[in-house]
Structure 1
Amino acid sequence: MTERTTTPGGRHSAIVLAVVLACQLMVGIDATIVNIALPEIQTQLHFSQTGLAWVFNAYTLAFGGLLLLGGRAGDLLGRRRMFAFGVLLFTAASLLGGLATQSWWLVAARALQGIGGAMASPNVLSLIMSNYEDGPRRTHALSVFAVASSASLALGLLAGGALTSAGSWRWVFFVNVPIGAAILILTPIFVHETETHRGRFDLVGAITATIGVAGLAYGVIRTATSGWGDPITIAVFVAAVLVLVCFILVEKRAEQPIMPLRLFADRRRAAAYVNTLLVPSTIFAVIYFLTQYLQEGFGYGPLATGVAFLPMTVVLMGVVRLVGRLIKRWGTRPVMAVGIAFVTAALLWLTRLTSGSGYLADVLGPLVLLGVGAGLTTVALSVTSLSGVRREDSGAGAGLFQTLQWTSWSLGLAVLVTVYHQAATEGGGVAESLARGTASAFAGASVIAVIALISTLIFVRSAIQPGAPAAPADPPAGKVPPEQAEAGARSRD
């Protein structure tokens, strides 16, 4: 049975975009908004230093481990239904987090937030894809989505600093309640349910994907305190890899897999997936390490640290307004390559940080370059990764894209934190160690960015050719003869 569906490009599409992006901003901001409030949380709820890390880790583990499940559930049960369920759970968990009086209570609330975010977030992309036909309007919508996703990380720092300074750490949770309530009220009015697809739910695939991704994320998180050589850490990584291999074998045999392997059949899309594992880690590294450097090296307070990232956010928001036209004129591959080149330049500039560096001379310029690069790259990656995905696979495709982004943040950060600690412990004063470690982390991120740039130039092909009309989404399997489908794929490449 098919429920009432949205009409792509309908008169309420702008309102639909605003509603779903409000959710994306709320979920994305919560990845960083708590960071600045952690010292106050530790004091009031009596967290140990190790236990305090789980305020962040509980969210990332639940979110990263369940994204694929949330995306596929939207395909089978209805994307608006799963979106609303995720927002409801996220909002309720935020209220519980703000009311927490015990450390375990807050950690549990953060895990529930992660589950709610994983149910809602992949369906944000699916609802955008359903409301906008393939072409300039969809590219613009994806551009706005990209800026919301990228800006949410920096906005989380600003909001966390402002709320903690003006009130208390509890407001970083309470602020989600009115936003979530508004989304829940507007969703049934303006967002119609999308097409649902009959079939069996891939329960084994969902379980193995969740365990594998969560295990990988836990292993990465553990390296920050136990190191890469810790036996338990190694055992967790081995187990996670084995479970993920089982997941792939299950998906090859499943009638309706949670992650259709045909998503990787398009070489253009597969290459974009590789870059999605590389590029976001370098952008997130700047936010993570500069947040610490500004507070510990420059002595900035929480609010000042958030404000320091505003130039990057403003530039990024300006760039994404132009990306749709740039892609239409030049194609996604050149835009992606230029974007990664800007990111690389920003990282190389940041490797020059010393204990005597200043914000205007050594930080502002790289942040502006990063804003340009992030705006160009994230939009081009999302368009390339999602272009041509079948309608029945859009939830799974969105879930996979966001899972790769989240994995990039976790894995990349773990590697770069290791680089940071090795450089910072080589001796010298506190200020010198901080600057040396931070510069070394950015040097490592530069290497990752260069690899992504080479991958783009050699393997990535444009999802949209310059001046060519956008190709429609792939039809359901069996509706187009193989030779015609192959010819269509070649024309899109």
Structure 2
Amino acid sequence: MSASAATASHPTNAPSGSPARRWWVLVVLAMTQLIVVLDGTIVNIALPAAQQELELSDTQRQWVVTAYALAFGALLLLGGRIADYWGRKRTYLVGMVGFGAASAFGGFAQSGTELIIARGLQGVFAALMAPAALALLTVTFSHGRDRNTAFAVFGTVAGAGAAVGLILGGVLTEFVDWRWCLLVNVPFVIVGLIAGLILVTESKAEGDNRYDWLGAITVILGLGSLVYGFTLAEGGWGSADTIGFLALGAGLLSLFVVIEMRVAQPLLPLRIVADRVRGGAFLMQMIVGSVMIGALLYLTFHLQIVLGFPPLEAGIATLPMTVAIMIVAPIATKLLPAIGPRPLLIVGPLIAAAALVYLSRITADGDYFVQVLPALLVLGIGMAMIFVPMQNLALTGVAPHDAGAASATANASMQIGGSIGLSVFTTVYASVTDQATVTDQASQLVAFTQGYSAAFIAAAVGLVIASVIAIVCIRGRKEDLLPSGDQQAVHLG
């Protein structure tokens, strides 16, 4: 899930060379995208084993996922600017080194705190590495059919990364050790570094480029306070700490808006989010991120902890949703120019919400093929109907010099939505399980299942809200809503 302001600038020293060399650059950059997306899900399958070995609390378990998504999402805008201003190759290489070091640190973590810190550092360096990779791809394939092919490959890798993460996480956890879900990044990083040094040419934006450091610091602290406040809500929404951090986060984000209105080169030009259609798409991406990152984590817990699936089987058991997305996405792509994005964005969330409601009917002694599989297939159908138009709308009508910031905002919305959603779902889960009467292992599994069910219902409510957002915000003629020709912007994630 990556973005950059690369499309927003005129590159200098753009990568050049033989056509064969350009395709090798694509292979390297696509591998980078795979690592970034894969790491958002690979630890999901490993978490039960890691929790048991490191004696993590449920809150710490949540933060193993949240730390990566939050750091990644909060720093994406700044990462894109650093890549453009400092140099895309340089930023890419530094991001790779840092990501590899953070992965190694996490693989040898001896406590929950160390693991959470490692995941946060992974997110920090992913926010450098991912935007730089997309920026390099943009200047390497600047136009024509080769550009379309390159971005199609890059997007396919991004879409498959989450599924690969679940499967690979299952294989490594079951047959090697959960720590290899982090250590596996190291050989990829080494290959990426060597290939990047040999194949990639430096490029950067021209002109007087100034960093909006005040805006960057404000938005990072604001998002961090907001997510942490939601995490504290597990202990009660009325506590002083919960209210304080939520208020602090809201205040800092309001200050960020004021700063962006006044600085000459804002981190996020407000005209990007002020547009009703794009703003609606960003809000929907936050909700979709909460479902894909937050709610589905509890599905992997149900499969392993309650149904007793080994890690590999748990990873494979989630594949039907991915298969459904891959089958329906091309159909939705063909429907898009015919009916426009609005019907898909209204109906898609409702279909996905219905799937989550069905999934909430799980029981501790239930059958996967009856209670889970149908829901995953329907959820995949609904998500495919959302993904296709939502990605296009995120950049529709964006001026070329704003395309990078808009793409970063879209990706950041997904990651931050996942962080906040996971915090909310954890609070809902904890409020249900804390009230359950647990006398033995069987009653404990029942309590877990009730908590997971409540989280699925909360996610379904979010998707219904997404449908309402589409009704209110996604308005206009389909010809105006869909980019065409040379104006079409690219968003991957």
Q: Report the Cα distance in structure 1 between the residues aligned to 2:430 and 2:78, rounded to whole angstroms.
A: 35
Shift of 1:71: 2.1
Match of 1:359 in 2: 368
Q: Report the Cα distance in structure 2 between the residues aligned to 1:347 and 1:422, rounded to whole angstroms.
A: 19
* Cα deviation digits, residues 96-130 of structure 1 (max 9, x gap): 33344566554443332121111123445555655
Match of 1:202 in 2: 212
Residue from 263, 280, 288 that aligns with 1:279 = 288
Shift of 1:2: 4.5
Alignment of 1:31-430 (within 5 A): 31-42=40-51, 54-100=63-109, 105-127=114-136, 148-149=157-158, 151-187=160-196, 193=202, 196-197=205-206, 198-224=208-234, 226-427=235-436, 429-430=443-444
Q: Report the Cα distance in structure 2 between the residues aligned to 1:16 and 1:381, rounded to whole angstroms.
A: 28
Q: Report the Cα distance in structure 2 between the residues aligned to 1:50 and 1:418, rounded to whole angstroms.
A: 10
Q: Report the Cα distance in structure 2 between the residues aligned to 1:137 and 1:329, rounded to whole angstroms.
A: 26
Q: Report the Cα distance in structure 1 between the residues aligned to 2:157 and 2:100, rounded to whole angstroms.
A: 19
Q: Report the Cα distance in structure 2 between the residues aligned to 1:317 and 1:401, rounded to whole angstroms.
A: 21
Q: Report the Cα distance in structure 1 between the residues aligned to 2:148 and 2:341, rounded to whole angstroms.
A: 11
Match of 1:449 in 2: 463
Conservation of the 8 A alpha-carbon contact between 2:86 and 2:204: no
DSSP 3-state at the match of 1:389? coil
Conservation of the 8 A alpha-carbon contact between 2:15 and 2:200: yes
Match of 1:437 in 2: 451
Q: Report the Cα distance in structure 2 between the residues aligned to 1:56 and 1:142, rounded to whole angstroms.
A: 28
Q: What is the letter of the counterpart of residue 275 of structure 2?
A: D
Stretches of structure 2 lacking an aligned partner (at least 5 in a row): 1-9, 438-442
Shift of 1:345: 2.7
Q: What is the letter of the counterpart of residue 231 of structure 1?
A: A
Shift of 1:400: 1.3
Shift of 1:260: 0.9
Q: What is the letter of the counterpart of residue 174 of structure 1?
A: L
DSSP 3-state at the match of 1:376? helix
Conservation of the 8 A alpha-carbon contact between 1:278 and 1:452: yes
* Cα deviation digits, residues 121-155 of structure 1 (max 9, x gap): 34455556556679998788767666644543443
Q: Report the Cα distance in structure 1 between the residues aligned to 2:87 and 2:337, rounded to whole angstroms.
A: 32
* Cα deviation digits, residues 338-391 of structure 1 (max 9, x gap): 432331231232233234431111211111122222233223222211233333
Conservation of the 8 A alpha-carbon contact between 2:306 and 2:364: yes
Which deviates more from structure 2 when the two are superposed, residues 150-159 or residues 346-355?
150-159
DSSP 3-state at the match of 1:200? coil
Shift of 1:245: 1.2
Shift of 1:322: 4.6
Stretches of structure 1 lacking an aligned partner (at least 5 in a row): 476-493
Which deviates more from structure 2 when the two are superposed, residues 461-470 or residues 169-178?
461-470
Q: Report the Cα distance in structure 1 between the residues aligned to 2:55 and 2:135, rounded to whole angstroms.
A: 41
Q: Report the Cα distance in structure 2 between the residues aligned to 1:308 and 1:98, rounded to whole angstroms.
A: 25
Which deviates more from structure 2 when the two are superposed, residues 354-363 or residues 141-150?
141-150
Q: Report the Cα distance in structure 1 between the residues aligned to 2:342 and 2:203, rounded to whole angstroms.
A: 31
Q: What is the letter of the counterpart of residue 253 of structure 1?
A: R
Conservation of the 8 A alpha-carbon contact between 1:68 and 1:259: yes
Conservation of the 8 A alpha-carbon contact between 2:66 and 2:419: no
DSSP 3-state at the match of 1:199? coil
Q: Report the Cα distance in structure 2 between the residues aligned to 1:85 and 1:433, rounded to whole angstroms.
A: 45
- RMSD, aligned CA: 3.5
Conservation of the 8 A alpha-carbon contact between 1:30 and 1:156: yes
Are the structure 2 counterparts of residues 135 and 361 from structure 1 closer, same or farther at C-alpha, using a change threshold of 3 Å? Answer: farther
Q: Report the Cα distance in structure 1 between the residues aligned to 2:117 and 2:162, rounded to whole angstroms.
A: 22
Residue from 463, 470, 478 that aligns with 2:484 = 470
* Cα deviation digits, residues 374-418 of structure 1 (max 9, x gap): 233223222211233333333322221121111211222222333
Q: Report the Cα distance in structure 2 between the residues aligned to 1:233 and 1:345, rounded to whole angstroms.
A: 31
DSSP 3-state at the match of 1:465? helix
Q: Report the Cα distance in structure 1 between the residues aligned to 2:419 and 2:482, rounded to whole angstroms.
A: 37
Conservation of the 8 A alpha-carbon contact between 1:129 and 1:394: no
Are the structure 2 counterparts of residues 143 and 437 from structure 1 closer, same or farther at C-alpha, using a change threshold of 3 Å? Answer: farther
Conservation of the 8 A alpha-carbon contact between 1:123 and 1:395: no
Q: What is the letter of the counterpart of residue 455 of structure 2?
A: A
Shift of 1:158: 2.4
Give the TM-score, by structure 2 length: 0.83
DSSP 3-state at the match of 1:31? coil
Give the TM-score, by structure 1 length: 0.83
Which deviates more from structure 2 when the two are superposed, residues 255-264 or residues 382-391?
382-391
DSSP 3-state at the match of 2:460? helix
Alignment of 1:14-29 (within 5 A): 17-29=26-38
Are the structure 2 counterparts of residues 408 and 105 from structure 1 closer, same or farther at C-alpha, using a change threshold of 3 Å? Answer: closer
Conservation of the 8 A alpha-carbon contact between 1:142 and 1:383: no
Are the structure 2 counterparts of residues 474 and 392 from structure 1 closer, same or farther at C-alpha, using a change threshold of 3 Å? Answer: farther
Match of 2:3 in 1: none
Conservation of the 8 A alpha-carbon contact between 2:93 and 2:196: yes
Q: Report the Cα distance in structure 2 between the residues aligned to 1:326 and 1:14, rounded to whole angstroms.
A: 31
Shift of 1:333: 3.0
DSSP 3-state at the match of 2:265? coil
Are the structure 2 counterparts of residues 382 and 207 from structure 1 closer, same or farther at C-alpha, using a change threshold of 3 Å? Answer: same
Give % identity: 36
